Amino acid sequence: MAHNLDITNGVASFVSAREDAWHKLGQVLPDTFTASAALEHGMLAEWNLRKQPLLAQLEDGSTIPVADRFAVVRDNPVTGLGESLGVVGSAYKIVQNEQLTGVLDTLVDESGAHFETAGAIDGGRKVFVTMKLPGHIKVGGVDPVESYLAAMTSHDGTTSTVLMVTPVRIVCQNTLNMAYKESSHQFRVRHTSGADSALIQQAREALDFSFDYLEGFQEEANQLINTELTQSRFRELIEKEFGAPRDAHKVTVSRTENKLDQMEYLFADSDTHEGMRNTAWAGMNALTEWYDHYSPVRANGGDEAAARSRKALLEPEFKEKARRIMMALV
């Protein structure tokens, strides 16, 4: 399967505490690990990220600096050679991998959370870390959902540092990251002056928020699992919300029907919904499972798995719509 892990000479920048590393790549640790272990085994340590003036070459072969443009450069963790990750402006503040994991490491003793995955994708341009929060909830007493605090930062100027509360349904690994009662589940820190202190503050706020968020999430989930939803009614809902326009081209109609059929199958027949079938909770999870695992993605260079992972974590709009559709039935 395609992936987008940062790989040099066959070595992947990824580490996981629970299962085989993503698509059997990287180093696997048997237990939970510290920030230093995440950096070391995930090939994230000592990148020595820095800004270098961007130069333009003239016709005579000489170079001149480009105003307010710098290349973000790292030392490749395998070869040690310098390589450019992206172009940024003078106000851009680099966040070293050690800073990101160090901030999250301060939360371990305070919360009982622990590191679970860490790695780099897009050739080192993006770095991610996930921490599992203690305990889990059981929706309706039957469906276990674990909760995570996930962090992602970019080294190419494309995104802020993002911290997010992310419930994950164990049975199908759905990421149920969505706004609860229209309040955001994401905290963002721009790569500008003061990013260090802001990151620490936002990490603590995200941790504090996570407990209220998950309590509210469980309350809504219990309402959904206790709300009956038949297969025919589910089909009506998805045709109304996701169906093709009447004047759509036949190719669009065909693709849309295939999408709706996939959603309906997940709702009615998938073994991931045993014990909660014909409920609004199953309806919401059918939609989120389709989005995470089956929806089309635009993958640069054919790296579908990585594109799907980014989409699942960083684009919650579809899941928020799914939540609104199902909560309207309660």
Taking the CA atoms of 200, 202, 206 and 209 in sequence, report the sign of the dihedral they define. positive
pLDDT on residue 92:
93
Cα three-residue angle 33-34-36, rounded to 5 degrees: 120
Phi/psi at 203 (5° precision):
-65, -40
| C-alpha separations of 250 from 235, 256, 310 in Å | 20, 10, 31
Q: What is the CA radius of gyration of the chain?
A: 22
Phi/psi at 211 (5° precision):
-70, -45
Rounded-to-integer distance, Cα 38 and Cα 33, Å:
7
Rounded-to-integer distance, Cα 132 and Cα 114, Å:
6
Tell me the pLDDT of the chain (330 aa) as tens digits.
Answer: 345 556 666 665 655 665 544 434 455 555 667 788 888 888 899 999 999 999 999 999 999 999 999 999 999 998 999 999 999 999 999 999 998 888 888 777 667 778 877 888 788 898 888 888 887 788 888 888 888 888 888 999 988 888 887 777 554 555 555 544 444 566 777 787 777 777 777 777 777 777 777 788 888 999 999 999 999 999 999 999 999 888 889 999 999 999 999 999 999 988 887 888 999 999 999 998 888 888 887 766 556 666 666 666 667 788 889 999 999 999
pLDDT on residue 35:
80
At a CB cut-off of 8 Å and minimum separation 6, what does 235 contact? 260, 264
pLDDT on residue 19:
52
Give me 124's structure tokens. 């080192």
pLDDT on residue 59:
93
Give me 107's structure tokens. 């939360």
Q: Say if residues 95 and 195 touch (Cβ distance below 8 Å).
A: yes
At a CB cut-off of 8 Å and minimum separation 6, what does 242 contact? 256, 259, 260, 263
Burial 90-109 (b: 16+ CB within 10 A, else e): eebbbbbbbbbbbbbbebee
Q: H or E segment at 126?
A: strand 126-139
Rounded-to-integer distance, Cα 141 and Cα 123, Å:
42
**If you write DSSP's letter for every residue of 39-106 in order, what string do you get?**
HHHTT-S----EEEEEEEE-TTS-EEEEEEEEEEEEE-TTT--EEEEEEE-TT-----HHHHHHHHHH
Give me 253's structure tokens. 């109609």
Residue 154 carries which side chain, given as an amino acid letter? S
Rounded-to-integer distance, Cα 206 and Cα 19, Å:
26
At a CB cut-off of 8 Å and minimum separation 6, what does 136 contact? 144, 145, 146, 147, 170
At a CB cut-off of 8 Å and minimum separation 6, what does 200 contact? 103, 106
pTM for this model (two decimals): 0.72
In DSSP terms, which residues pair with 53 in a beta bridge? 70
